[in-house]
Amino acid sequence: MSPSKQRPLAVVTGVGRRRSIAATIARGLAEDGWDLVLNFWQPYDERLDLERGTDDPDSIADDCRILGAEVTLVPGDLGDPEFPEQLIATRPTGRRVDGLVLSHCESVDSSILTTDVTSWDRHFNVNVRASWLLIKAFAEQLPAPAEPDDGATGRIVALTSDHTAGNLPYGASKGALDRLVIAAALELADRGVRSNLINPGPIDTGWMDDELRRSLTRATPAGRLGQPRDTADLVRFLFSDAGSWINGQLLHSNGGFQTS
């Protein structure tokens, strides 16, 4: 395939479980014509202890290949400061990474009084430091300056949250992520990067019990819980040419959750 006809390439993090936002994003991008580098970290998924199969990453990759994507699976701990650059470097020889989806996280419920320093540091290392290093490595392999008629050379979308009390280190680190990703829209403009965040609200990926499902549904004017495809559809739009005028934004795609 000639370079002009080559499929674009995206790195998607956090693709460890079939029932996840990241897995649905990966399948959606594959359907839209993207090749993929998919990152997961099995020890985190085991610690999370949510619904998953023993071969979920391979199964997700197979789904994407059926849709026509070339897929590279890259296990690795984003808490390791060396790994983000390595992840971007695992792109196929001669290829450029055109899109970056930050859908990984560290998330352990704790409060001001119950959070320990190790947990705090782990949250910021995974949710903020790794995201910064991924964005940095992503930007460094893009041409600079981008040609004026190139349009968007690179696309970044990160998943964020407005959690605060009871999930303190997660929420605080997501707040830092917001500033980082919006800064990327400004600082990386000369490389043709557009960079946005999505706050998806509560998405049913297997962590809710029946009582919580009922409560969150009542709090959502749309009258239903969010599903992974709701977030994936917005990522697909932001990665498309049709989404090219959206940049430097934190988008609430949550069915109106907590707005009424």
Could you tell me if 45 and 22 are in contact, meaning their C-beta atoms sit under 8 angstroms apart? no
Question: Residue 179: in which H helix or E strand, if any?
Answer: helix 168-187
Per-residue DSSP letter, 226 = B
Catalytic site residue 170? yes
SS3 10: strand
Q: Which residues have CB under 8 Å from 250's CB, separation 6+?
A: 160, 178, 182, 196, 197, 198, 199
Identify which of 151, 24, 34 has the alpha carbon closest to the alpha carbon of residue 96.
34
Indicate which residue of 170, 173, 195, 220 is catalytic: 170
The residues carrying an active-site annotation are 170
